[in-house]
């Protein structure tokens, strides 16, 4: 029997990686839904190849163009996620949520009740709305699998293990494009250089987050949320090769290393097939990389944004939404060449230290509307302060 699969963000890098896996085994899957923000041309190609009958295209202009250019009258196109009841009469076997940014939080939450298993590749949703998502998953008995290579590796490494046995968990970071750039040159680095990640092909926003190491700050918070682990047990190690993704040190003295090739297809494949005997073609063990892991502690002078982890406690709060929203806005300013690269970190730390925002450390996110409202307010305040 075919498995029913829904993909939110099918035209992004994670969505395309999932489809590359599905294309190799088409007889086993029925794709019930694809979504995109703007890329209606690519989603049309995907729908034709997979015989998909339901598409969601969010951007109004792209939605109107899609309706105008639609030739297959059997395809239904929606421009929001409020029509899920019309699309699904039963739960999907697997849903991939790969819409980036806080825009992906509500669609991810909405898809939980329509999913037996949900794979989430959205940092912001897990960082800002984990308590809400987790409650929904428990209410609807939906299985969750993290897709970030680090979090999937941790999930794989501690599955069925008592968390009390864990002493430390280390997430690895490549160091991005400026790992070997001297500190005094970082003020003048160009956007094109910041986007040039040495190991991964990613979107602009996450590429800048990798260059500042904000992505690792968010991943530590993600790990805290997903695995219910105290911040003090979570560390970052520099590993330029991106071959080793997680190290788990147990309090019985044993240490577990989880490594895989630099491709997102491996965690995605294992999230899709984790209960079967299917296998994926992968390269031979890379002994050269294992012999030269080149692990280092993070230089906080070069990556000052990692100091934010001293401002985060062990409880879910709305303060994480302020971190995400302010960083998003600063990255946009940098991409538009309105601030320097080093100002992303300095302005963010200064902004978060304001007494107005510290009080949010004691406030829990009770609903998505509160998170979205705070997100909009933070962006407004940050730009007001800059002006």
Per-residue pLDDT at 277:
62
- The separation between CA 65 and the C-alpha centre of its own chain, rounded to angstroms, equals 29
Model confidence pLDDT, tens digit, residues 174-227: 998 999 898 889 988 898 988 988 777 777 888 999 999 999 999 999 999 999
CATH number for 317-387 (one of 1.10.10.10, 1.10.3720.10, 3.40.50.150, 1.10.1740.10): it is: 1.10.1740.10
DSSP 84-126: HHHH-SS-BSEEEE---SGGGHHHHHHHGGGBSEEEE--HHHH
Alpha-helical (H) ranges within 99-231 are: 105-111, 123-139, 149-158, 191-194, 204-212, 214-227
> What is each CA distance from 146 to 120, 198, 219, 349, in whole angstroms?
5, 24, 11, 28
Question: Do the beta carbons of residue 212 and residue 303 sit within 8 Å?
Answer: yes
- Label residues 228-245 b or e (16+ Cβ within 10 Å = b): ebeeebbbbbbbbbbbbb
Pairing of β 234-238 and β 296-297: antiparallel
> Exposed, middle or buried, 283 (CB in 10 Å: 0-12/13-18/19+)?
exposed
Tokens at 171, concatenated:
């997430």
Per-residue pLDDT at 276:
64
Q: pTM value?
A: 0.93
Tokens 């302020």, residue located: 322
CA neighbor of 350 nearest in space, from 376, 381, 314, 377: 381
With a cut of 70, which residues of the chain have pLDDT below it? 275-277, 386-387
Model confidence pLDDT, tens digit, residues 273-300: 976 667 788 888 889 989 988 999 999 9
Question: Do the beta carbons of residue 124 and residue 99 sit within 8 Å?
Answer: no
- Label residues 64-92 b or e (16+ Cβ within 10 Å = b): eebeeebeeeebebbbebeebeebbeebb
CATH 3.40.50.720 intervals, the chain: 3-147
Per-residue pLDDT at 94:
98
d(CA 129, CA 147): 16
- Label residues 107-128 b or e (16+ Cβ within 10 Å = b): bbbbbbbbbbbbbbbbbbbbbb
Q: Which architecture, in CATH terms, is 3-147? A: 3-Layer(aba) Sandwich (3.40)
- The separation between CA 379 and the C-alpha centre of its own chain, rounded to angstroms, equals 21
Per-residue pLDDT at 236:
97
Tokens at 317, concatenated:
């709060």
d(CA 224, CA 230): 6
CATH 1.10.1740.10 intervals, the chain: 317-387
Per-residue pLDDT at 386:
61
Tokens at 330, concatenated:
């600063």
């Amino acid at each position: 029997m075919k498995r029913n699969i829904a993909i939110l963000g099918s035209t992004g890098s994670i969505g395309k990686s999932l489809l590359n896996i599905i294309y190799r085994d088409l007889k086993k899957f029925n794709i019930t839904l694809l979504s995109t923000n703007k890329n209606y041309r690519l989603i049309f190609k995907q729908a034709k190849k997979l015989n998909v009958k339901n598409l969601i295209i969010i951007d109004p202009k792209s939605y109107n163009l899609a309706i105008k250019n639609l030739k297959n009258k059997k395809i239904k196109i929606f421009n929001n996620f409020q029509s899920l009841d019309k699309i699904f009469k039963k739960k999907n076997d697997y849903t991939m949520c790969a819409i980036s940014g806080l825009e992906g939080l509500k669609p991810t939450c909405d898809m939980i009740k329509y999913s037996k298993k949900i794979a989430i590749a959205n940092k912001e949703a897990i960082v800002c709305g984990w308590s809400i998502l987790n409650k929904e998953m428990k209410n609807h008995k939906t299985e969750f699998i993290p897709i970030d290579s680090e979090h999937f590796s941790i999930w794989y490494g501690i599955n069925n293990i008592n968390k009390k046995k864990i002493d430390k968990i280390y997430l690895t970071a490549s160091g991005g494009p400026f790992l070997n750039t001297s500190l005094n040159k970082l003020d003048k680095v160009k956007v094109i250089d910041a986007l040039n990640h040495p190991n991964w092909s990613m979107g602009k926003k996450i590429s800048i987050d990798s260059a500042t190491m904000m992505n690792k700050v968010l991943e530590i918070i993600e790990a805290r949320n997903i695995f219910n682990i105290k911040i003090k047990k979570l560390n970052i190690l520099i590993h330029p090769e991106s071959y080793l993704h997680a190290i788990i040190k147990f309090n019985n003295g044993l240490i577990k290393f989880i490594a895989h090739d630099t491709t997102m297809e491996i965690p995605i494949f294992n999230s899709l097939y984790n209960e079967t005997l299917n296998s994926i073609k992968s390269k031979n063990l890379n002994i050269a990389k294992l012999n030269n892991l080149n692990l280092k502690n993070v230089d906080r002078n070069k990556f000052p944004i990692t100091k934010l982890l001293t401002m985060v406690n062990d409880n879910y709060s709305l303060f994480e939404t302020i971190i995400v929203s302010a960083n998003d806005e600063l990255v946009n300013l940098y991409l538009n060449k309105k601030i320097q690269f080093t100002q992303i970190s300095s302005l963010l730390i200064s902004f978060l230290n304001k007494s107005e925002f510290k009080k949010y450390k004691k406030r829990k996110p009770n609903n998505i509307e509160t998170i979205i409202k705070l997100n909009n307010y933070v962006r407004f305040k940050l730009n007001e302060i800059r002006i």
